[in-house]
Amino acid sequence: MGKWDTEIQGFPLTLAYSGTEIEIIGMGQSIPYTMAGDVISFDFQGPQSAVVAFPAENQMTQTNTATEEVQMFTRNAE
């Protein structure tokens, strides 16, 4: 939960996670998601799921279950 900064295809984004949605800050778009254990599932440009981990304080990774691509997030200080 909270706000997290990341980069997707070279474009910096801030995402706000609530208990049921991921809001893309500044884009006016929210994506519903579900969590089952450490796997997050959502539909953004097609169905996706990723294993969520917190390797360090204020860091989150999401490893895509299909491609094994790792997306790194840093907790937003706001």
- Which tokens in the block code for residue 74? 């840093």
> How far is the C-alpha of 68 from the C-alpha of 78, rounded, in Å?
30
- Which tokens in the block code for residue 58? 């204020």
pTM of the predicted structure, to 2 decimals: 0.83
The CATH fold of domain 2-75: Lipocalin (2.40.128)
State residue 28's pLDDT score. 84
3-state helix, strand, coil in the chain (%, to 5): 0, 70, 30
State residue 59's pLDDT score. 96
State residue 15's pLDDT score. 93
Tens of pLDDT along the chain (78 residues) come to: 899 999 988 999 999 999 999 998 988 889 999 999 999 999 887 898 999 999 999 999 999 999 999 999 999 987
